[in-house]
Amino acid sequence: MTALTNLLDLDPAQLVAYCGELGEKPFRAKQLQRWIHQFGASDFDAMTDLAKSLREKLKARATIAAPAVISDHISSDGTRKWLLDVGQGNAVETVFIPEENRGTLCVSTQAGCAVNCRFCSTGKQGFSRNLTVGEIIGQLWMAEFELRRSKGIEPGPKGERQITNVVMMGMGEPLLNFEPTVTALRLMLDDNAYGLSRRRVTVSTSGVVPMIDKLSQDCPVALAVSLHASNDPLRDGLVPLNKKYPLKDLMAACRRYLEFAPRDFITFEYCMLDGVNDTDTHARELVALVQNGAESVPCKFNLIPFNPFPESGLVRSNNVRIKAFAQVLIDAGIVTTIRKTRGDDIDAACGQLAGEVQDRTRVQERMQKMAEYQQKFGKNFGRIVEVPR
Ligand code: SAH
Ligand code: SF4
């Protein structure tokens, strides 16, 4: 028997091609896409405006399946974190951060990460594998419809959208899993799927220069660059990728990106590490880096207080230091924010996403448990997405 096609893996053009293979007209793909991405449907029988014959064909050949949810935690500040099973003992996390006027979903693009930044617990885990399109977009699909379900909001375009912004700041380096990331981005932007504005979708990268250029051509969205250092020797030690793509090249790539970007600035993320990169001298060096005549980069800074994890050997800068550092940038006319840490009580903060995953024996145990439950209660146990009726 041939494997079922997971329709979450297909972008709009691929879905049209798939429908073509089934002998169906392109408008069927649009209908199907709306059922999947606007109504959160996973049951072909629920797609009542599709001909019964098409539904039967789909039931025989296709599926709509996001990664199964292993756990689901809600923090006292409303931040919600899901741990998702991506097979073979690998798990990734998705975090929803509600704010007054928006809801942001932080998605993962890889299980583990090969870049191995010194301050990042995902990097410490090593690289397991790239996520598929279905596993990336499946995070948005699962989260949007689960959030609606928990609030009693109807699916479909009429129901109030819960996720207004997406940031690719979960586990993994999105630009090292380029094609699946871009396909997932296209679905996020598509009007027959999530219809998010390019300005509200952000790719965060540690600085994969050629892929920054490729993103500017293939699917320009807002760009965040994880800078973390004001000079090459310091950045070489914190973000090993810097040895391959040093600051001068990275800054040039940022300038090129802005010619195509939906925003007129790059967001630089800067993790505040006590005694490592947080002095006023570092801040002044940063100003000189980004305000450098013809080589300047229009930018905003987002200072992230380091989230410690046991074996890092690093310490978070204190608040007074972070504020003083920010002031140097602000005095130079650079818009600078200090990231609030959210979801601390559920380990949902930046760079802590791997917390639970690292302990693979625990993940294995949980999966064992889930398999037992599934045997008892049916295969949909562990998937919090129900079949809409
Ligand atoms: N790989 C991409 C996106 C995922 S990391 C990147 O590096 O940009 C998302 C953000 O969290 C990055 O800015 C990263 O540098 C930051 N981060 C990682 N570990 C952290 C930690 N322990 N404390 C604070 N920020 C961290
Ligand atoms: Fe990978 Fe980003 Fe972590 Fe660096 S900070 S190891 S690029 S996930």
Of 63, 90, 107, the residue at which a domain comes to its end is: 63
Question: Ligand 1, atom 11: nearest CA belongs to which residue?
Answer: 350
Which listed ligand is nearest to 168 at the C-alpha?
Answer: 1
Cα–Cα distance measured from residue 12 to residue 20, given in angstroms and rounded to the nearest whole number: 12
Neighbours of 377 (CB within 10 A): 10
Residue 382 domain-assigned (yes or no): no
Residue 370 domain-assigned (yes or no): yes
Same domain, 94 and 215: yes
Same domain, 42 and 151: no
**For 156, what's the count of Cα atoms within 13 Å in the CB-facing half-sphere?**
6
Question: 304 CB under 6 A from ligand 1?
Answer: yes
Domain hosting residue 54, numbered range: 5-63
% the chain with pLDDT above 70: 88
Cα–Cα distance measured from residue 272 to residue 318, given in angstroms and rounded to the nearest whole number: 9
pLDDT digits (tens, 9 = 90+) for 189-203: 999 999 999 999 999
> In a mutational test of the pocket of ligand 2, which residue from 92, 95, 116 has the highest number of ligand atoms less than 8 Å from its CB?
116
The average confidence (pLDDT) of the chain is 89
Residue 217 has pLDDT above 80, yes or no: yes
Residue 274 domain-assigned (yes or no): yes
- The CATH number assigned to the domain holding 28 equals 1.10.150.530
Residue 384 has pLDDT above 90, yes or no: no
Q: Residue 247 phi/psi, 5° resolution?
A: -55, -40
Closest CA to 224 of 201, 243, 240: 201
Cα–Cα distance measured from residue 348 to residue 303, given in angstroms and rounded to the nearest whole number: 17
Give me the catalytic one of 19, 219, 254, 350.
Answer: 350
Question: 168 CB under 6 A from ligand 2?
Answer: no
Whether 311 is catalytic is no
Residue 384 domain-assigned (yes or no): no
Q: How confident is the model at residue 125 (pLDDT cuts 50, 70, 90)?
A: confident
Cα 172 to averaged position of ligand 2 atoms, centre (Å): 6
Residue 387 domain-assigned (yes or no): no
Residue 373 has pLDDT above 50, yes or no: no
Same domain, 150 and 292: yes
Cα–Cα distance measured from residue 381 to residue 156, given in angstroms and rounded to the nearest whole number: 24
Residue 172 has pLDDT above 70, yes or no: yes
pLDDT for res 365: 53
Cα 212 to averaged position of ligand 2 atoms, centre (Å): 16
> In the predicted model, what is the mean pLDDT of residues 154-175?
94
Residue 44 domain-assigned (yes or no): yes
Question: 351 CB under 6 A from ligand 1?
Answer: yes
Cα–Cα distance measured from residue 270 to residue 339, given in angstroms and rounded to the nearest whole number: 10
% the chain with pLDDT above 90: 81
Structurally, how many domains does the chain consist of?
Answer: 2
User: Which residues are annotated as part of the binding site for [4Fe-4S] cluster?
Assistant: 113, 117, 120
Question: 113 CB under 6 A from ligand 2?
Answer: yes
Cα–Cα distance list, 361 to 60, 67, 73, 226, 264 (Å): 36, 19, 20, 31, 46
Same domain, 51 and 122: no
pLDDT digits (tens, 9 = 90+) for 256-300: 999 999 999 999 999 999 999 999 999 999 999 999 999 999 999
266-272 sheet: strands from edge to edge: 68-74, 80-85, 91-98, 103-106, 165-168, 201-205, 222-226, 266-272, 299-305, 335-338
Greater pLDDT, 373 or 48: 48
Closest CA to 135 of 79, 174, 78, 192: 174
User: Which residues are annotated as part of the binding site?
Assistant: 113, 117, 120, 172-173, 204, 226-228, 307
Same domain, 222 and 338: yes
Of 20, 42, 63, the residue at which a domain comes to its end is: 63
Same domain, 49 and 110: no
Cα 135 to averaged position of ligand 2 atoms, centre (Å): 19
DSSP 275: T
> In the predicted model, what is the mean pLDDT of residues 53-65?
95
Element (H, E) at 122: helix 121-125
pLDDT for res 389: 20
Same domain, 76 and 92: yes
Whether 285 is catalytic is no
Same domain, 10 and 133: no
Cα 238 to averaged position of ligand 1 atoms, centre (Å): 11
Q: How confident is the model at residue 144 (pLDDT cuts 50, 70, 90)?
A: very high
Which range among 84-88, 213-217, 309-313 has the greatest average pLDDT?
A: 213-217
Give the tokens for residue 63: 């599926």
Question: 120 CB under 6 A from ligand 2?
Answer: yes
Neighbours of 119 (CB within 10 A): 25
Give me the catalytic one of 24, 93, 269, 356.
Answer: 93
> In the predicted model, what is the mean pLDDT of residues 162-187?
97
pLDDT digits (tens, 9 = 90+) for 307-362: 998 889 999 999 999 999 999 999 999 999 999 877 777 666 554 544 444 344 44
pLDDT for res 346: 66
Residue 171 domain-assigned (yes or no): yes
Greater pLDDT, 89 or 171: 171
Greater pLDDT, 369 or 126: 126
Q: How confident is the model at residue 367 (pLDDT cuts 50, 70, 90)?
A: low
CB 108 within 8 A of CB 94: yes
Cα–Cα distance list, 113 to 108, 176, 177, 185, 263 (Å): 10, 9, 10, 20, 27
Q: Residue 225 phi/psi, 5° resolution?
A: -120, 125
How would you classify the pairing of strands 165-168 and 127-130? unpaired
Strands (E), the chain: 5-6, 62-63, 68-74, 80-85, 91-98, 103-106, 110-112, 127-130, 165-168, 201-205, 222-226, 266-272, 299-305, 335-338
Same domain, 353 and 224: yes
Residue 388 domain-assigned (yes or no): no
Residue 107, by phi and psi: left (phi above 0), alpha (psi -120 to 50) or beta? Answer: beta
Same domain, 157 and 47: no
Atom of ligand 1 nearest to the CA of 305: 24
> What pTM value is reported for the model?
0.90
